[in-house]
Structure 1
């Protein structure tokens, strides 16, 4: 076996200094004659400063200072040395050729057996690259913060790592409240059922996703944003972050919704108009056939309405129509839809309703209208037909069946409800007002 002989203490210290990754400089502990002065430095320190060791030995480390060296840091260093305390700090030093570099260093006092300080040992590291990277990050953060559009950045797991000031202003949330959370807390529940599935699928394929989001502000009100979400990959192609850039379009969307709402409503009664009603019927039929969600239909007609117009004028007729429409609104559920089907005729689509549900609702509407007594026209009454959708029945066929029931109610004396018979519809027969 080969015997390994360790070098003596001095040789071991020299070997450590020679091979150390960090810059090491050792000074004496004298403060006269411009000290402390450098007694030893390793090659890493020479490479960092650009000075050969021969030009550093016997010099004060002050030769590395320059215009951008922080005086406050140097003053704190002097105080620590005089008081024999450990020092740690960072500032700007200068190489032999005059180029600046950022240095981070610590200094420890070395004491003899009696406790007297004989040397100072300093470990130093060039942190220029780190400072520049931090400066660039800070510059980027400042640039993002002055951007007018809300910007949100998440990590690969959708946890928020940055939100700019425009995002804070739009949502009402401060960055400190949302960092580390996923954006799920912004969801309003108003998006289509497959909206977020499409979002996840696009991002999983590495594609950007753009859509109008209906999100919640901190106070609970909804805002609308045209939002693009883009995956950011590293050099190896792995997704590391997602960047979302938004534009507040709440005012625009609200205007469009208002215009759409106005276009879908009957201006006199405020109920849905017939064109919209036909779409409502089609959607109810689709839900019934694909989701097994049955629905029912009521058709109501104001009794003797022609006489109201003939005897009291159209202004009174309009007032009666409005009174009946208000009863409709108040007597149906939020999920049901009341439609002015034409003239004095109304149609109600009852969501997820049985035949008995339809009959009960129709009777409730009839009784509520009967309780009205217009100051000029007097008592008002309705006749109604009702029926539940049957499998394989088209919306048009259901309406015809219920319409036959309505006319049966008219012929039976008015102010009553008639349930539609099962089977195919034929025709309403003679018109009855």
Structure 2
């Protein structure tokens, strides 16, 4: 029968359709319906020619990864004369597999009998691959031991991973829709955040160590990189932040710095760090003429304590004297273990008379405390005040001379440098 114009248009539409189309007969007995028509899109998708497909069954496209449950569901729908939607894996002529979505409809004659099936198919391979890659990336972000935070262009949090939840104590639902400001600890000033946003607005990543506050109020250190994320037009749409928790490393560094600057027995600054403090105050006194005094102190008869009671008791005495010095000096002063049983007290912005009065108060305060084994321990004190042109060495020597004078005077007393 000659095709009408509408028939020709319909055939052309199917032939030229973007989606793959295949028409089969309705014989459901094995080996199943046979292919009567395919369009070019179907041939392109499968790699077969029209001549290779006509007369065959769609089983020619099945293989090891074709889902048998989907095939069984398809057969049941066809037998029931129902519309079928499903997807599975099929195989091209060259043996490569592809993911396909089927939309299969029965075709009925005037009496309602099913005479054919038409299947409109879509190749989902690229979509499945893209979804797989997205899932792979999402799983990688979730499994990452470093914190990952994604915000939108305005800084509103749209995603956090499990490491973020574990480190901060915040659940995902607690922070989505909020900003990272909930982690602010107060350790960073406005200039820090201005530099952050200036860098990000320029399209560059920002790297810094953040001191953040967890939900329970504890602080943690995060070595963090914040990177702008652009869309296909080059516009910044999101910011991705990745952060490594370095709190343990920071604590170790602080411990090492403390060990390098603090005398472990007394808890006071050690000689090395004390010389840096002395240099700082000496420099300020020379530049600003604010007054600066030092007090040299020495435990009386310390050798006898060690000889009579042992070095263990001697260490206890040193430790106790260090604690008392910290308690008795002013907050602005620095008590230093200068060496052995000798201590140095830096007294900034103070002239000789006030420094001597401070030394007397410290001497009396220490004398009021008794060690359970040794009894009362006394100290001798020598005080010197900075004079214009003094080097640190000269200033220390005058304080040491005053200390020697205090010992010559019978110990447990305060003397000042004779030429101050």
Output the TM-score relative to the length of structure 2.
Answer: 0.60
Structure 1 match to 2:345: 347
2:18: which partner in 1?
Answer: 21
Cα 1:262/1:275, change in 2 over 3 Å: same
Counterpart of 1:101? 98
From 73, 77, 98, the equivalent of 2:74 is 77
Could you tell me whether the CA contact under 8 Å between 1:298 and 1:384 is conserved in 2? Answer: no
Residue matched to 1:4 = none
Are positions 1:43 and 2:32 aligned together?
no
Q: How many residues are treated as equivalent by the alignment?
A: 396
Q: Is the 8 A contact 1:152 1:244 kept in 2?
A: yes
2:322 to 291, 306, 325: 325
For the residue of structure 1 that corresponds to 2:98, the secondary structure is strand
Residue 89 (structure 1) aligned with residue 83 (structure 2) = no
How far apart, in 2, do the equivalents of 1:363 and 1:115 lie?
Answer: 117
TM-superposed deviation, 1:264: 1.0
- Using the size of structure 1 for normalisation, the TM-score is 0.59
- Counterparts of 2:380 and 2:83 in 1: how far apart (Å)? 97
CA–CA distance in 2 between the matches of 1:285 and 1:121? 96
Find the counterpart in structure 2 of residue 306 from structure 1: 300
Residue 67 of structure 1, CA deviation: 3.6
2:63 corresponds in structure 1 to 66
Aligned pair in 2 of structure 1 residues 168, 40: CA closer, same or farther (>3 Å)?
same
Name structure 1 gaps, 5 residues minimum: 1-6, 288-293, 387-393, 418-426
Pick which of 77-86 and 236-245 moved more.
236-245
Query: C-alpha displacement at 1:372, in angstroms?
Result: 1.1
Distance apart, 1:128 and its partner CA: 2.3
Distance 1:130 1:334, change over 3 A: farther
Deviation string for 1:12-70 (max 9, x for gaps)?
A: 64454344322233445442474444455443223323345565455432232234322
Contact between 2:222 and 2:243, CA under 8 Å: does it hold in 1?
no
Tell me, in whole angstroms, the C-alpha distance in 1 between the residues paired with 2:179 and 2:79: 52
Decide which of 263, 283, 289 is 1:266's aligned counterpart.
263
Matches within 5 A, 1:313-392: 319-329=316-326, 338-341=335-338, 343-347=341-345, 369-375=366-372, 377-380=374-377
CA shift digits 1:369-409 (9 cap, x unpaired): 454123455445679999xxxxxxx9x8xx99xx8xx99xx
Does the CA contact (< 8 Å) of 2:23 and 2:38 recur in 1? yes
> How far apart, CA to CA, are the structure 1 residues paired with 2:195 and 2:36?
68
CA distance, structure 2, for counterparts of residue 376 and residue 42 of structure 1: 105
Deviation at 1:237, TM superposition (A): 6.5
- Secondary structure at the aligned position of 1:80 is classed as helix
**Cα separation, 2, equivalents of 1:101 and 1:299:** 87
Aligned partners of 1:286, 1:25: CA distance in 2, in Å?
A: 93
Instruction: Classify the secondary structure of the residue corresponding to 2:263.
Output: coil
CA distance in 2 between counterparts of 1:99 and 1:376 reads 90
1:122 aligns with 2:119: yes
Contact 2:169 2:216 survives alignment (8 Å): no
Residue in 2 that maps onto 1:290: none
Q: CA deviation at 1:271?
A: 1.1
- The residue that corresponds to 1:420 in the other structure is none
Distance 1:116 1:336 in 2: 104
